[in-house]
Amino acid sequence: MVKLNKIYTRTGDAGTTGLAAGPRRRKDDLRIDCFGTVDEANACVGMARVHLRGVAAGVLPVIDGMLERIQNDLFDLGADLATPDDGKKPEWEPLRIVQSQVDRLERDIDTLNADIPPLKSFILPGGAPAAAALHLARTVARRAERLMVELAARETVSPEALKFVNRLSDFLFVAARAVNDNGAGDVLWVPGANR
């Protein structure tokens, strides 16, 4: 159970932050950057959900439910990244991303993608406000993935966490297309259009 009585603690004033198990790292540490970027992606997903509110037609409430589950999963991912696996048995069972979370994302991608025609061009981030917000979330998720891959070259990052963040950006891309009237409202890239 999380209990936050006081928002400021002054413990980070010297440029460090605490990991879940207690050790402190500099705020510019790669692991901190990873879960900070995951948090940023979560905020972008929240903004996309705001754009979906009040829209009761078609698939949008279904997407909102999927995004709500993803936001919870992103907190799980942040907790996973904030608890490095140092090879020692921890005093408690750390929260980790598990394969079933990856599997659910894949099912959600397949569900949304079933009614979307295949792409014949790359698309520009845009269309409906919710779609644009989902594209922004996708790019932040991709940045989180790049950082996590870099971290995995130095420290342990679970394969499930890496798979989850990879599928997340795929989901956000498909969800943006679904919000754009199943691709009908996508903004297509026209190569060399402004030469």
Domains of the chain and CATH, by start: 26-85+94-188 (1.20.1200.10)
Residue 110: is its pLDDT beyond 60?
yes
pTM above 0.75, yes or no: yes
CA distance linking residue 17 with residue 82, whole number of Å: 10
Closest by CA position to 34, among listed 142, 141, 139, 148: 148
Residue 11: is its pLDDT beyond 80?
no
Closest by CA position to 78, among listed 6, 13, 157: 157
The alpha carbon of 12 is separated from its chain's Cα centroid by a whole number of angstroms, namely 25
Query: So what's the pLDDT on residue 13?
Result: 58
DSSP alpha helix (H) spans, the chain: 30-52, 60-81, 99-113, 129-152, 159-179
Residue 133: is its pLDDT beyond 90?
yes
The alpha carbon of 182 is separated from its chain's Cα centroid by a whole number of angstroms, namely 21
Reported confidence tier of residue 84, pLDDT bands at 50, 70, 90: confident
